[in-house]
Amino acid sequence: MSRIVVVGIGADGLAGLGEHARTELATASRIYGSRRQLDLLDGALGGATRHRWPSPLLPALPSLFDGPGDVHVLASGDPLLHGIGTTLIRLFGAERVTVVPHVSAVTLACARMGWAAQQTEVISLVNAEPATALRRGGQAIVLSAGAATPTALAGMLESAGRGDSAFTVLEQLGGPAERRRDSDARRWAREAPADVDDLNVIAVRYRPDERTRFLPDDAFDHDGQITKADIRALTLLALDPRPGQRLWDVGAGAGSIAIEWCRSWGGCTAVAFERDQRRRIRLAGNADALGARVEVRGAAPAALGGAATPDAVFIGGGLTEPGLLSDCLAALPPGGRLIANAVTVESESILARSYSEYGGELRRFHHAQAVPLGSLTTWRAHHPITQWAVTVS
């Protein structure tokens, strides 16, 4: 079986390649890449035929490399850092794909900024909305989709009250036309230069820095339909999110569970189901403002159809809807987790029956908050929460 050799290349072209990479390209018979990457090769580099990526790319990949002989692929920087190398290994297996990495744009950007790489988040906006790069603190290297990305991101930061964030756009990193422009998000959003290169990354230090493990309730725009912070923490503990997993948040209200899930680990996403249109609009705004990847849908169970398969399901409302609980359980793969919270007698009875039928764990949480009573203090009890947790076998 022919090899697929993925060679990383930087803005400095052939001059920046090591001996291994140059040898691979010199002996290649077919080379695939973008027009910009192919243009970095000079005519003296072997007699390989050069092929631009088809569009759309992903549907063409499974059969694109059919035929005898090795196939070489050009990729930007490190092909395994949000690059084509990861996709090819997923499709063809690591035993068939050889990766020859170059210095990544992230490494170069950290070097230019003087940032420790292990303390810097990497966010890709190549195939994501700018809102997914919003954070409440810290620093990140943001991979751009093109010349318009810095302005779009800067506008989102300003709208989210983070216009003071330090904002540096680094263009053509490692090449002869490398350029750095320092600003803040507010100034860039209002006075963005017109000549930003398509090949750019953005270094952001988010201000104000309000990083917390769990968000306070006032971080969410809500009408009272929200899982409060203390119960939210207990619910996330039961849901046990893991990197790259997807949650269904059913009866999502303000979306606090879905958003906290997305913030918990890299690559976590959520689908939120909410019947009230005003709450759906508010939920989408919360997700954008807090940098969470949440798909917002209508009422469950009707809106469950067609949603991507979840790794976990949280039901915070709607338990009395016929078929909702059974449909959510049926959607989970083996090992998937379902957590349901109830405050009404009717919903509690459904959870009690489910516990008897499926097992799992049934808990009740009582919590109260100290409040003034004249010149003294008393306790104000909140509704007790009954929670059922089960893992699908």
End-to-end CA distance of the chain: 39
The pLDDT score that the predictor gives to residue 43 is 66
pLDDT at 131 over 70: yes
pLDDT at 44 over 70: no
**Counting Cβ atoms within 10 Å, is residue 2 exposed (0-12), middle (13-18) or buried (19+)?**
middle
Amino acid symbol at 193 = P
pLDDT-based confidence at residue 315 (cuts at 50, 70, 90) = very high
Higher pLDDT among residues 212 and 151, named by residue:
151
pLDDT-based confidence at residue 224 (cuts at 50, 70, 90) = confident
Question: Partners of 297 in the beta sheet?
Answer: 273
State whether the Cα torsion 329-331-336-340 is positive or negative.
negative
**Counting Cβ atoms within 10 Å, is residue 204 exposed (0-12), middle (13-18) or buried (19+)?**
buried
Higher pLDDT among residues 15 and 391, named by residue:
391
Contact status, residue 354 vs residue 328, Cβ threshold 8 Å: no
CA 81 from centroid of its chain's CA atoms: 14
Please give the backbone phi and psi of residue 83, each rounded to the nearest 5 degrees, phi first.
-125, 180
In the three-class reduction of DSSP (H, G, I as helix; E, B as strand; rest coil), residue 320 is classed as coil
CA dist list (Å): 84 to 78, 89, 99, 132: 9, 9, 10, 21
The pLDDT score that the predictor gives to residue 53 is 94
pLDDT at 110 over 70: yes
CB atoms within 10 A of CB 215: 18
pTM: 0.79
CA 169 from centroid of its chain's CA atoms: 21
**What is the tens place of the pLDDT at every residue in 5-32?**
999 999 999 889 999 999 999 889 999 9
Say how far apart CA 79 and CA 65 lie, in whole Å.
18
Residue range 181-200: average pLDDT? 97
Higher pLDDT among residues 68 and 220, named by residue:
220
pLDDT-based confidence at residue 191 (cuts at 50, 70, 90) = very high
Higher pLDDT among residues 15 and 180, named by residue:
180
Residue range 163-190: average pLDDT? 97
